[in-house]
Amino acid sequence: MERLRGENAAVSTDLAGGAVAAVPLVLVVALGADQGGFLPDSWVWAGVLLAWAGALGVVLGGGAAIARAWPWAAAAVALLLWTFASALWSAHRAQSLLETRRTLVYAAAVLALIVLARRDATRVLVVATHVAISLLLAYALARYLLGARQLPEFEGAYLTRPLGYANAVGVLAALGILLGLGSAATAGSSLARAAAAATVPVLALALGLTGSRASWLALVAGGAVLLVLHAAPGRVLRTLAIVAPGSALLIWLAHRNRLTDVAASPSRLPVALAAVGVAVATGVVVARLREPSDARPQRRVALVLLVVVALAGAVALGREGSTQPRASYWHVAWHEYTSHPVLGSGAGTFALFWVRSGQEAARGGALDAHSLYIETLAELGPVGLAVLAALLLVPLRTVTERRNVPYVAVAASAYVAFLVHAGLDWDWELPAVVLAGLSCAGALVLGEESPATRATRRARIAVAAALLALGVGAIAGSRSHTVPSAARETERAPVSGALS
């Protein structure tokens, strides 16, 4: 009987441990295929799946990581509660409650990752997130290259579907490239290295078809982090030297065939065939890489590259922020903050301020400030920004100490890329992108092994209760018919102060 109970406990532990991979594998792919999860209907089932899967994980013996990951969980719950509280002083209460529903999904994701994590969570989450992004964008490319040519009204011939936004495809491609490149330079199995490397040229093609400058900037920033933190930067450089020519070739072919030209009738099949050929060839070559040599000389080269990249990134960031209409978005968001400097104007209210600013006639409509950090300051005030910073920065606190742990550098590179891009676009409004980023963050938070600090029974019960409550909240949200909007019908007076 004791033996049977032991076997059942082991099976339960293995099932719960493997379940953490389902967070990116299921949710990133499913939400990505559902317009990136932008519409509120997707938040209902996503929130329920995350919350109740996490609660089930506690029942099956999960929660060992709660003791070491509680600051991350506390920050996620605090952000949710502050977002909900902002409805009390919001310029538009319905939009603030709507934003709360989306934030609920993110809080549930953080708690589910913590509860479901087991041994080797860093590697599991890196691989699962990479596979999820690769599957989603392979499907997107297949539709783009082999399906009927469709031209969305606002984004021309760029690769947008199924997420509905080219920059969202771009940032996911950037994350996938970093995860693939890093995994190819880290995995011990030649088959795993080959499979990871084979995805890089295909994802680079997807990135090239989005026209997303911010995604390229995020990719470069993440690449610099990978070089600096990786235990064998020389191996990363050699892997990069192998995957780069094929990636450049595919991007060049796409440009030569004018795939993103609205006025052209491009031949897309050759590009599709070339992508398959380059992927296979890249995987074969990378599988033959030898073990890394002494890392010290290569690390000095990596540090020099980091300085160069930092300078170039600062220049590119300045140029990106000065372009229109992004500069106008940020200007209006800053005015929104100065009008409500203590508590902010309430979650989800930027669109209302944008309409009232008078910029809509010249720049078009906008629901978001195209910067998570500026928009959070405007809508949730300094307290909200501080809580968000805690949520986003806690995963990075032990990165340098654990740089030699396999896959930590890989996860950190993709996560930094996500943080950079979130400051330049409206990633936060697309749960498929955010869950990919949070999965990378989870790989950093949850990889430590500390059996002596297992969660108490009381802590596990509290987390399970919180997850069940989040699941109920997600279902309750299905009764709402509010959608993201500028809420024109609520306008009665211009925003106080004048925009200069």
Dist. CA 418–CA 423, nearest whole Å? 9
User: Quick one: pLDDT at residue 404?
Assistant: 85
pLDDT, tens only, 68-126: 899 999 999 999 999 999 999 999 999 999 999 999 999 999 999 999 988 889 999 99
Model confidence at 8, pLDDT cuts 50, 70, 90, reads very low
pTM of structure? 0.91
- Judge contact between 168 and 36, C-beta under 8 A: yes
Q: Say which range, 274-288, 424-438, 482-496, has the weakest mean pLDDT.
A: 482-496
If one compares 491 and 19, the residue with the highest pLDDT of the two is 19
Question: What is the C-alpha radius of gyration for the chain, rounded to an integer number of angstroms?
Answer: 23
Asked if residue 247 lies in contact with residue 166, where contact means CB atoms within 8 angstroms, the answer is no
Contact 185, 177 (CB under 8 A): no
Q: What is the per-residue pLDDT for 310?
A: 63
Phi, psi angle pair for 80, to nearest 5°: -60, -45
pLDDT for residue 21 is more than 50? yes
| Residue 65: per-residue pLDDT | 85
Hey, which of 46-60, 114-128, 381-395 has the most confident mean pLDDT? 381-395
Q: Is the dihedral of CA 453, 457, 461, 467 positive or negative?
A: positive
| pLDDT computed for residue 82 by the predictor | 98
Give CA–CA dist 319/302, Å, rounded: 25
pLDDT band at 455 (very low <50, low <70, confident <90, very high): confident
Name the least confident of 31-45, 135-149, 221-235, 278-292. Answer: 278-292
62 backbone dihedrals φ, ψ, rounded to 5°: -75, 175
- Quick one: pLDDT at residue 14? 46
Residue 493 — very low, low, confident or very high, per pLDDT cuts 50/70/90?
Answer: very low
Task: Provide the pLDDT for residue 10.
Answer: 42
Higher pLDDT, residue 358 or 176: 176
3-state secondary structure of 169: helix
* pLDDT value at residue 305: 63
Distance CA 325, CA 381 (A): 23
pLDDT of residue 364: 78
**pLDDT value of position 500:** 28
Q: Is the pLDDT of residue 12 over 90?
A: no
Q: Residue 475 pLDDT more than 80? A: yes
Query: Which two structure tokens, joined as six digits, stand for 209?
Result: 């078809």
With cut-offs at 50, 70 and 90, classify the pLDDT of residue 15.
very low
User: What is the number of helices (H) and of strands (E) in the chain?
Assistant: 20, 0
Quote the pLDDT of residue 401.
Answer: 84
Q: Rounded distance, CA 214 to CA 422, Å?
A: 9
More confident residue, 460 or 129: 129
The continuous run of DSSP H or E covering 308 comes out as helix 295-322
Please state the domain extents for the chain: 128-322+403-444
Residue 23 scores a pLDDT above 60: yes
Distance CA 169, CA 338 (A): 33
Q: So what's the pLDDT on residue 5? A: 42
Q: pLDDT digit string (tens) for 118-160?
A: 888 999 999 999 999 999 999 999 999 998 887 776 788 999 9
The mean pLDDT value of the chain amounts to 87
Provide, rounded to the nearest whole percent, the portion of the chain with pLDDT above 90: 68
* CA pair distance 70, 155, nearest whole angstrom: 41
pLDDT confidence bin for 308, thresholds 50/70/90: low
Integer angstrom CA distances of residue 254 from 141, 207, 208, 244: 12, 11, 8, 15
Q: Is the pLDDT of residue 66 over 80?
A: yes
